[in-house]
Amino acid sequence: MNVAEKLVPVVCPWCSVGCRFYAVSVNGYIRRIEFDYDHPTVNRGKLCPKGVASYQFINSSKRLKKPLKRVGEKGEGKFEEISWDEAYRIIAEKIKEIKETYGPEAIAFLGSEKITLEENYLVHKLSKAIGTNHLDFPGRYCQYSNSPARMAVFGSAPATNPFEDVAKAELIVIWGHNPAETAPVFFGQYIEKALDNGAEMVVIDPRATRGHKYASMHLKPYPGTDLAIALALLNVVISEELYDREFVQERTTGFEELKEAVKDYTPEWAEKISGVPAEDIRKVARLIATKRTALLVNEGMNQHVNGFEMAVALANLIAITGNIGKEGVWSGVFPGAQCGFCAAMSGIAPNKLPTGKLVTDEAARAELERLWGFKIPDWVGFDLTTMIREAGNKIRMMYIVAGNIAKSAPNSGWVREQLKKLDFLVVQDIFLTETAKYADIVLPAAAWFEKTGTAISAERRVQRTYKAAEAPGEAKPDWLIIVELAKELGLGEYFKYEHPDEILREINSVIPVFKGATPEYLAEHPEGCFFPCTEPGEGTKVLFKKGFKTADGKAHLQPVKWREPPEMPDEEYPLWLTNFREVGHWHTGTMTFESPSLEKRWPEEYVMINPKDAEKYGIRSGDLVKVETRRGSILVRAEVTEHVREGVIAMPWHWNVNFLTLDVIHEKTKMAELKAVAARVRKVEE
């Protein structure tokens, strides 16, 4: 028997910092991990608890091992095992039937931020080959405020600088972000290094986050009202003439309109709305305008209906203070999953082609049709929330790859009812998730360490991860499932792939920003390259040094108006409910709940209540309380703590909080309200 240990270089499957380590693999099983200090890795060998425990879930006995066909009611979770051939046959027949009855526009696809670049690319290609543009991914609820806003202002959304520039910043602004828990390695290796170098830190959050003890200022707005603070910052920077004159003059347009738009948004006005002292807002504005700033924002800003306006305001602020296009500054999107960019950059969106161009762009479509060899639909499809809304109506079938929308989408009680209305649902995943329980056919997929592929981190670093373990039972990598299904559908000629390398080579020729990220280059350079990497080589580390990606190369400053959150506390529901992430869990917990070391330390959900509110409602730490909004209620334990401001309650989101959130969406970005809804809380007698 061969028991030789193999060291397989892998990229961590959780957040988007892009940590690398070795999986020590013995005969197709991961025995342990080894820290990787040898290469110029982003994590310098360090790992967070999720990273250290990252292979536990793949050995869970609950892994899907064979394709399943539903025998019980939708949502009940009763299935029988079938063969792959039968599963492909049923799916292909159903797709043909629905296409004939309703047309291809009745079919919707979801890609995922949890699968590789190659796999997302294939999901995209398959959806277009079937003839539908109803294509999205759960990242819709992630960066879809910040990303379109930065597209509008700078012409490009991703992070402007590598992480090492964060360590060189003079001011770290952490706004609606909790990197000490969501990205501990990034916090320890870059933010703490900046603090060592004498940087100042400002936190803007209704909660005291883990990193808060390093901050010199902590602004605590009510959830969803920080747009007022952003507007007031713009107002102060402009009225006190603190902006970077030269930069504004040479590299931006629309300054006068912006000046006009924010002239009434004084810090005093913002104080009334957000509850943050005007003087603090002034101080922060002066700091941002005078120091090299790393502005770290995340879901606290993104997951609001007014998040788009907020993100535009911040992009304006970055531009007018000149905190862009140079060393020692940082701003950009920070995906919550290891492969957010894998979905976004392969064009997983209702209006995009993988090349990054719009589906409505005839020339771009013709070019892609030439490359791919089949006709591409020209209409703009539905976003995720609209898909759910149209389930059973315009959308008859959904094909979900590695997404758990029955738990991650807002107002999940409603989402589950909508999923029942579909004629046919296919879910491809590694566990029988809440969403998979509503599926007609469930396909067992290989997990992250069981396949080779490309991952892209938050700093635009493109890295290769390699197969370290065998998938259990008959589970297969997502790319292979798509290829085989395509063959069953008679589309085999467009999906002739035997290995992910072949898919990546096609991506090199189709997606311009990845032209230089060839399988050969990435194999030789484990540290990867920064996209856009148009030639094999390091790629582009700092963006916008000279021009922006807009048509005229200038940053387009946009006037921004105050917009209220769609639901505000009232007499009936007097509190703001917001949510947050825990260091030991990831997204809907599909994988981390199957990891004993993590589950043991972060066992259950709870609600954080300020002592003043707790006294008002007669609640003590450990009490069982009912948290209620207009959508539903859940029972949780209370934790009375100073770490959440008065008037606000906060819950970790990995469990059930989305039964309480709101499916109202922004008209342009389609972002829902996931972080600021009106709620009430009362003690439940035991």
Partner 1 sequence: MSKKIFLDYKRCIGCKACEVACEMTHGEARIRVFEFPDLFTVPFNCRHCEKAPCLNVCPTGALFRDEDGAVAFDPLKCIGCLMCAVACPFGVPKLDEENKIMDKCDLCADRRAEGKLPACVSACPTEALKFGDVNEILWNREGRVVANLKESAEKGEGEKAYIVL
Among the residue ranges 216-224, 383-391, 533-541, 637-645, the one whose residues contact partner 1 (CB under 8 A): 637-645
Nearer to partner 1, 210 or 563 (CB): 210
Single out the segment in contact with partner 1 by CB under 8 A; choices: 60-68, 246-254, 640-648, 662-670: 640-648
Encoded amino acid at 174, one letter: I
Report residue 556: phi and psi, to 5°.
-90, 95
Residue that is written with structure tokens 């069981």 in the block: 450
How are beta strands 217-219 and 200-204 bridged, if at all?
Answer: parallel
E-only strand ranges, 551-647: 555-556, 575-580, 606-609, 624-628, 633-640
Q: For 243-282, give one letter per residue: b (16+ CB within 10 A) or e.
A: bbeebbeebbebbeebbebbeebbbebbbebbbbebebbb
Does 47 sit near partner 1 (CB under 8 A)? yes
For partner 1, which stretch binds (CB under 8 A), given 206-214, 233-241, 362-370, 439-447? Answer: 206-214
What length does the chain have? 686
Rounded distance between C-alpha atoms, residue 227 and residue 313, angstroms: 8
Least distance from C-beta 219 to partner 1, angstroms?
Answer: 17
Q: According to the binding rule CB under 8 A, does residue 272 interact with partner 1?
A: no
Nearer to partner 1, 80 or 642 (CB): 642
Piece of 134-142, 205-213, 226-234, 540-548 that binds partner 1 (CB under 8 A):
205-213
State which residue, 377 or 611, has the beta carbon closest to partner 1: 611
Query: How many Cα neighbours within 13 Å face the side chain of 372?
Result: 26
**β strands within 222-268, DSSP E:** 252-253
The answer to whether 31 contacts partner 1 (rule: CB under 8 A) is no
Among 119, 192, 663, 673, binds partner 1 (CB under 8 A): 192
DSSP designation for 470? P
Tell me whether residue 207 or residue 476 sits nearer to partner 1 (CB atom): 207
Going by the DSSP 8-state scheme, the letter that residue 59 receives in this structure is G
Q: Is 548 in the site for partner 1 (CB under 8 A)?
A: no
Residue 610: is it exposed, middle or buried by C-beta count within 10 angstroms (0-12/13-18/19+)?
buried
Are the beta carbons of 71 and 77 closer than 8 angstroms?
Answer: no
546 or 600, CB closer to partner 1? 600
The single residue among 87, 185, 248, 400 that binds partner 1, judged by CB under 8 A, is 185
From the list 421, 601, 626, 683, which residue makes contact with partner 1 (rule: CB under 8 A)? 601
CB under 8 A: which stretch of 296-304, 518-526, 605-613, 639-647 binds partner 1? 639-647
Identify which of residues 183 and 397 has a Cβ nearer to partner 1 in the complex.
183
Q: How many residues bind partner 1 (CB under 8 A)?
A: 33
Residues in region 313-332 near partner 1 by CB under 8 A: none
Is 259 a binding residue for partner 1 by CB under 8 A? The answer is: no
If one asks whether residue 188 binds partner 1 (CB under 8 A), the answer comes out as yes
* 536 contributes a contact to partner 1 by CB under 8 A: no
Query: Which strands sit side by side in the sheet containing 441-444, from one edge to the other?
Result: 79-81, 68-70, 441-444, 424-429, 397-401, 107-110, 135-136
266, 270, 481, 493: which is closest to 372 by C-alpha?
A: 493
Q: Is position 43 an interface residue for partner 1 (rule: CB under 8 A)?
A: yes
- Of 297 and 583, nearer to partner 1 (C-beta) is 583
**Residue 641 near partner 1 by CB under 8 A:** yes
- The distance of closest approach from Cβ of residue 185 to partner 1 in the complex, given in angstroms and rounded to an integer, is 4
Minimum CB–partner distance for residue 26 and partner 1 (Å) = 16
Q: What does the block give as tokens for 540?
A: 């582009």
Q: Rank residues 185 and 319 by Cβ distance to partner 1 and give the closer one.
A: 185
Window of 83-91, 178-186, 354-362, 491-499 that interacts with partner 1 by CB under 8 A: 178-186
Nearest to 548 by CA among 317, 292, 253: 253
- Contact between 29 and partner 1 (CB under 8 A)? no
Stretch that binds partner 1, among 176-184, 368-376, 397-405, 412-420 (CB under 8 A): 176-184
Alpha carbon 402 to its chain centroid, in Å, reads 13
472 binds partner 1 (CB under 8 A): no
Among 41, 120, 127, 189, binds partner 1 (CB under 8 A): 189
Backbone angles phi, psi at 649, to 5 degrees: -120, 150
Tally of CA atoms within 13 A in the half-sphere of 13 that contains its CB:
28
Among 87, 598, 638, 679, binds partner 1 (CB under 8 A): 598
Residue 583 within binding range of partner 1, rule CB under 8 A: yes
**Looking at beta carbons only, is 50 or 416 nearer to partner 1?**
50
- Residues near 118 by Cβ (< 8 Å), separated by ≥ 6? 453, 454, 479, 500, 503, 504, 507
Q: Which is nearer to partner 1, 40 or 198 (CB)?
A: 198
184 interacts with partner 1 by CB under 8 A = yes
Q: Is 32 in the site for partner 1 (CB under 8 A)?
A: yes
| Sequence-separated (6 or more) residues with CB below 8 Å from residue 287 | 171, 200, 202, 293
Q: Which residues contact 370 (CB under 8 A, 6 or more apart)?
A: none
Our finding on whether 228 is near partner 1 (CB under 8 A) is no
53 binds partner 1 (CB under 8 A): yes
Judged by CB under 8 A, does residue 597 bind partner 1? yes
User: Which of 49-57, 354-362, 559-567, 666-674 is the region at the interface with partner 1 (rule: CB under 8 A)?
Assistant: 49-57
CB of 583 to partner 1, least distance (A): 5
HEC secondary structure over 171-187:
EEEEECCCHHHHCHHHH
Distance CA 22, CA 494 (A): 35
Distance (Å, rounded) from C-alpha 419 to C-alpha 290? 51
CA dihedral for 471, 477, 482, 488, sign (positive or negative):
negative
Q: How far is the CB of 32 from partner 1 (least distance, A)?
A: 7
Tell me which residues touch partner 1 (CB under 8 A): 32-33, 35, 43, 45-49, 51-53, 180-181, 184-185, 187-189, 192, 208, 210-213, 583-584, 597-598, 601, 641-643
